[in-house]
Chains A and B, each alone.
Chain A
Amino acid sequence: MVPITTLHYLVVAAALFVLGVIGVLIRRNVVIVLMSIELILNAVNLNLVAFSRMWGNLHGQVFAIFIIVDAAAEAAVGLGILIAFFRNKETVNVDEIDLLKW
């Protein structure tokens, strides 16, 4: 059996990243678009931790923790915007979110 190298983790992270991008691009439900953004951030985190393992230092893990903090802030603000929007237009459909469109 082939031992697991850094490249294996990078491939998994790339797959998660691409799935997240697909979710952002094609889904119509805003909540699921936000969830796909979380998938993308997770893929980045997996890359950072894999590289931290590869180089044998902890900088990558510290960066991963900072990204988790960012993800929490992003989720809070994004869901706040969603609640405020839902109160105005009663929809969670991305195609109908066009208040700023001229």
Chain B
Amino acid sequence: MLLEVRDLYVEFRTRDGVAKAVNGVGYGVDAGETLAVLGESGSGKSVTAQTIMGILDVPPGRITGGEVLFQGKDLLTLKEEERRKVRGAQMAMIFQDALSSLNPVLSVGDQLGEMFVVHRGLSRKDARARAIELMDRVRIPGAGQRVRDYPHQFSGGMRQRIMIAMALALEPALIIADEPTTALDVTVQAQVMDLLAELQREYDMGLILITHDLGVVADVADRIAVMYAGRIVESAPVHDVYKAPAHPYTRGLLDSIPRLDQKGRELYAIKGLPPNLMDIPPGCAFHPRCPMAQDVCRTDEPPLYEVSEDRGSACHFWRECLHG
């Protein structure tokens, strides 16, 4: 396994109390594999990613347990110095908002080249040549001329390509993409996702795709991990989940999205709201919104039951859900 997160706990200390953002998350990704981490706002999907990358703001964040094994080493116990060498060179991250992730006063060529100057010790001139090469690789037309342009001179889709180029620069083994296409229009989104998938195959990278979009997941993922209230509620190969979800939350999400290829009547709506992270319901965190909830769900927190060899569900009634 390229990356494995084990039993991770992260909390945030705020003025109003302790928000338990991540409560025992575990997932793994292999080289060449795409893992989609699906969840709504507040599910802990981005916090987990920030913890893996080591860019969690501490404080107010605090890692209270678990390990992040990257190529066998626990990143959480590494010194900041060694951690920095991993970041960028061996794992890289792509963010949702490319405009605010790029420095507006430096040309994109300088920003791309800097990666090579800092990590590889190349000269400015060589770094610029590599920057042009990278921009070609992510198919930015006229890379040779545009290398001197500033971020605001590019369109949203082109900026996201530059972000991808930056992530790829040092040929990392793992890329974490946090909602990489959410801010983009559908036609551009398709271009960018295609590019990302293609580059992933080319470099045989592991890809963790964090998203709330069930359509994007179905398009690109190999495996899916569904998060709710800071836990993994279902983890499975992507085909299995869409065929027959083994957790009522996953089922609810799939039923609640309108589909392009069918004209439905009323949408199924998951009742209620995502839980307050300062006051997560006891037992199964999803029970107040769950149509299948029984007494046991209010008291006993379900473990991640093994549904099959490569599939797990954190629901006491996963069998009923799977077959009903």
Q: Are A and B bound to each other? A: no
Residues of A bordering B, CB below 8 Å: none
